[in-house]
Amino acid sequence: MERFSVIVSGFDRYESVDVNPSREVPEALESQGLKLGSNSETNPTSDVDDDVSFDCEIHIHSVMLPVSFTNAWPTLKAAIDRYHPDIVIATGLKHAARGIALERCATNLMDAARPDADNVKPRKIAIVEEGPAAYWTRLPLRSILEDFSTHNIPATLSSDAGTYVCNSLFYHLLNWTSHQQKVLSGFVSFPLVNEHGGNLYGLPLKQQIAAGRDVVKETLRYYREPATRDVVIV
């Protein structure tokens, strides 16, 4: 039986954010798994995905990172060296978002308007000297969006992850991935947790966990059977 190792990273603390989805979602995915297989006949209210069954072992590892330009990537890299993942999905938080943001591009730029957790505020500095100006995500965005639509999860494509720690981590991750034979990686931004709905920013936590599960599931599907139709960049 095939075995797959998946890392889903998040950030351990955001200032003034009581419930951090980029911590809660990875930890939920590690503890709950993908919940694949059909049981809709015996339990119609179950959140098990009844349209997918993978004949393989899937091990999800959640990794929490500091909001630090200096330490976020080394912490994730240490986890990569430990778990030897086939898929790495980094996650972060976008305060002014009404749904899940699938990040398309990581740019080679640090330009912080506020200090990070180490009180560091780089301005207009390259992340990797003489590195490419940008990298494109390795995630199958089209199939992820289609899965979101099926499960009524609001989502959008985002041009980039900004110029703060999220983007810096994303760039380092894709820079590393570019030298690997077969690893898929990308970045997903979650909105604030909003359990009340309405026109406010954010989504309920359960819906965000379901979104995280869809991202892992569709990326694993694409890893096993790559298809051009699954990928969308622009």
Question: Which residue among 109, 166, 210, 220 is the active-site one?
Answer: 166
Three-state SS letters, the chain: CEEEEEEEEEECCCCCCCCCHHHHHHHHHHHHCCCECCCCCCCCCCCCECCCCCCEEEEEEEEEECCCCCCHHHHHHHHHHHHCCCEEEEEEECCCCCCEEEECEEECCECCCCCCCCCCCCCCECCCCCCCCEEECCCCHHHHHHHHHHCCCCEEEECCCCCCHHHHHHHHHHHHHCCCCCCEEEEEEECCECCCCCCCCCECHHHHHHHHHHHHHHHHHHHHCCCHHHCCCC
Active site residue 56: no
Residues with a known catalytic role = 166
